[in-house]
Amino acid sequence: MTAHTPAADGVPVEDDDAHTWTGKARRWMLGKLPPDKLLPEDQPSYVMSWAYVFGMGAVASLLWIIISGVVLGLNGPQWYHVSSLGSFVNSTHLWSVELFFMFMVVHLWLKFWMAAWRGGRVLTWITGMVSFVVSIVAAFTGYLLQTNFDSQWIAFEAKDALNAVGVGAWFNVTNVGQIFVWHITLLPMAVGAVVVLHVLLVRVHGVVPPLEAAEGDAQLRDSAWAPSHPPEPVSPRDSAKPGDPA
């Protein structure tokens, strides 16, 4: 049995002798993401910028996509295609997707020009890109579920490409029942899982600082991007020190 030592606030803290997989997993998770990093009360001053808003805007849009999608799925197509309220909820589902992609793309642009993969944040960057790609597939299946001539056109334009890469049997865009399952179960779970992982990685590594504030980030100080490695000089003349021979 593992020993417990009371912390200052009285909460028992597990010692280092965890020997079960649950104990080891808990120790690993608490080491990677202690509660004060998971739910921080403060952020660096550079986070007070519109450049740090769009990721959460995308998450807020995704939440409404899921909520409205649940309402649409439970009431069915004959509700959301015919009734006024159904059409309205259907429209909010579409427009929250539009906002989700706009916020996600602006977030992507801002983080690209911020080189957000710096300081050991490569996996955060990769999960962001994966969530973007999976979201495109999820949105594509949504367009297929409009059950109008647009969706029929899109399906028949897409089927040849999907058959050519050998996925047509399991991702048959002309089979609206199969695409409905992809759209309301598998792809939302995939998008949700990748987005949750992305947000957790942001909490583990912290938000990336602007390029000019790199010295304020502990992860960058410990990496090759540390301020001890100044930016590459623009030209040899810029790197010359006073007194150096020209």
Partner 1 sequence: MAGWLVAGVATTGAGTFLGWDGFTIQLGNLIVILVMIVLFVLALILPFPGGKRRK
- For partner 1, the binding residues (CB under 8 A) are 45, 48-51, 53-54, 77-78, 81-82, 87, 98, 101-102, 105-106, 109-110, 146-150
**What are the residues whose beta carbons fall under 8 Å from the beta carbon of 77, sequence distance 6 or more?**
145, 147
Strand-pairing partners, residue 5, are 13
Tokens of 125: 């960057």
Phi, psi of 144 (to 5 degrees): -70, -20
Nearer to partner 1, 48 or 181 (CB): 48
**Least distance in angstroms from the C-beta of 116 to partner 1:** 14
Nearer to partner 1, 140 or 226 (CB): 140
**Least distance in angstroms from the C-beta of 89 to partner 1:** 14
Q: CA 103, CA 94: separation in Å to the nearest integer?
A: 14
Nearer to partner 1, 28 or 156 (CB): 156
User: CB–CB of 206/199 below 8 Å?
Assistant: no
**Least distance in angstroms from the C-beta of 110 to partner 1:** 6
**Least distance in angstroms from the C-beta of 64 to partner 1:** 18
Phi, psi of 175 (to 5 degrees): -105, 95
Nearer to partner 1, 27 or 140 (CB): 140
